[in-house]
Amino acid sequence: MTDYNNSWVMAAEKATNPTTSTLFAEGVRYYRAKDFARALACFQQAEKAGDNRPSLYYNIGVCAFKEGQYPISRQAFLKTAESAQMRPIAFYNLGLVSLKENKQPEAKEWFTQALNLTDDDKLQTLASSALQRMGASNEATHMAAAKYISAGFGHDDNAELASDTSTTSGQGDCYAEALFYFKSSLPQSTFTKNLQARGTLYYQKYFDLVEYDLGMITAGLFHTMPVGNNWQLESGVDYSYLAQDGKNFEQIPSVNLQLKKYLAGRTRLNLGYRLSYLDFLDSQYRYLNGWRQRFEVDTSSKIKGFRLILGYLLELNDRDDDDYSARRHQVKAGVSYTPFARLNLFGGIKYRISDYDYGTGAKREDKRAISTAKATYGLSGKWDAILEYQYTDNDSDMAGYDYTRKVVSLNIARSF
């Protein structure tokens, strides 16, 4: 349990042995009794007994901070930051440590990185407020920029077109891929307040199936503002361009609306709407031109060391060819867990039903399930190794649309 402000340690999670579990629980009890020295001793004993969970290092950092032992606190938060999931909160606390050590430039850097990396509204507010108190509003808060890069290799046993047409090749091949993502607040003025630019570059190169090579560019502008009772509204527009085999394939302008709110505990609720126009530049697929609407609701909750994700999506299509104007319902569920420092595990499933009404009176129903397993391991610095496996099973009541697909990939990624 934590409020991101160095006021609480994290409550006990499931430990690997009774000794570390008991020491961890004792440390939490002493902390709540404000006996920070004994709490720190318990957490350090748990570490010596073999506990190396990120939550333990975080608690050591908090207790050492309370005791004024800033070098110990710094080392503990650096170890916490080896977990990709806890990196933003670790960076924020490293900023607090740097302030206590009168290292102002270093503190600004930690707070800025925490602001850039987190999607947590509370942590964003705390990091932004810390920067503003330091007089960094123009230099850091308003010009904050985050970047993410990844590159790696994979194998796809049934290469698929970029569009959602259920068109697969029936052929497998290895591929290389690279991704660059950025977001940056605009220089502040009356017209640009709370505006953020975002962009993505992606390229996938197959070794043999070059006709499935994919290039994608996305650019957008988004505005965030508080509304109602602790809701946050994000609105924006973006444009995507896709090339297949080096040729113009598709362009998609979109309008986005999203409402976010934190409920009880560490549960976040998202309500989203996205309106897109799909414009196929390849004449072979122009019958798919048309509008697509997506309505989405999802929640994310942290429960005893596990992060649970649930969601529902409704998709409505109005294409030039009514036969391809599918109505889709999709549900998703996922769970992530950090068993020890540096390693985060994720498993999830998406299940979608697509209904098609043909002009002849015939109907078609596709049922697609996508299962995902992913392991993220923190390397030195801010680098992560990401191993992912995805299995797709599309079952249709019309011949020619059944297929399965297996994709495995290994990427190296870094956040800036």
Instruction: Say what the pLDDT of residue 135 is.
Output: 65
Distance CA 212, CA 12 (A): 48
Which tokens hold the place of 261?
């709110």
Dist CA 199 CA 221 (whole Å): 9
Fill in the DSSP letter of residue 143.
T
Which DSSP state fits 18? H
Q: How far apart are CA 222 and CA 353, in angstroms?
A: 31
**Residue length of the chain:** 416
**Residue 320: how many other CB atoms lie within 10 Å:** 14
Flag residues of the chain having pLDDT under 50. 1-5, 7, 12-15, 137-143
Q: Which fold has domain 145-415?
A: Porin (2.40.160)
Tell me what pLDDT residue 166 has.
61
CB atoms within 10 A of CB 284: 8
Using one digit for the tens of pLDDT, what is the confidence trace for 203-254? 999 999 999 999 999 999 999 888 877 788 999 999 999 999 999 999 999 9
Question: How far apart, in whole angstroms, are the C-alpha atoms of residue 389 and residue 373?
Answer: 5
Whole-number pLDDT of residue 336: 94
Given this model, what pLDDT does residue 142 score? 46
Q: Which helix (H) or strand (E) holds 261?
A: strand 247-262
Would you state the structure tokens that stand for residue 106, as one six-digit string? Answer: 């270093």
What is the four-CA torsion angle of 98, 102, 105, 106, rounded to 10 degrees? Answer: -20
CATH superfamily label, 18-141: Tetratricopeptide repeat domain (1.25.40.10)
Q: What are phi and psi of 38, to 5 degrees?
A: -70, -35
Write out the two tokens for 312. Answer: 């529902």
Would you kindly state where each structural domain of the chain is located, as residue ranges?
A: 18-141, 145-415
Residue 81 CA from chain centroid, whole number: 16
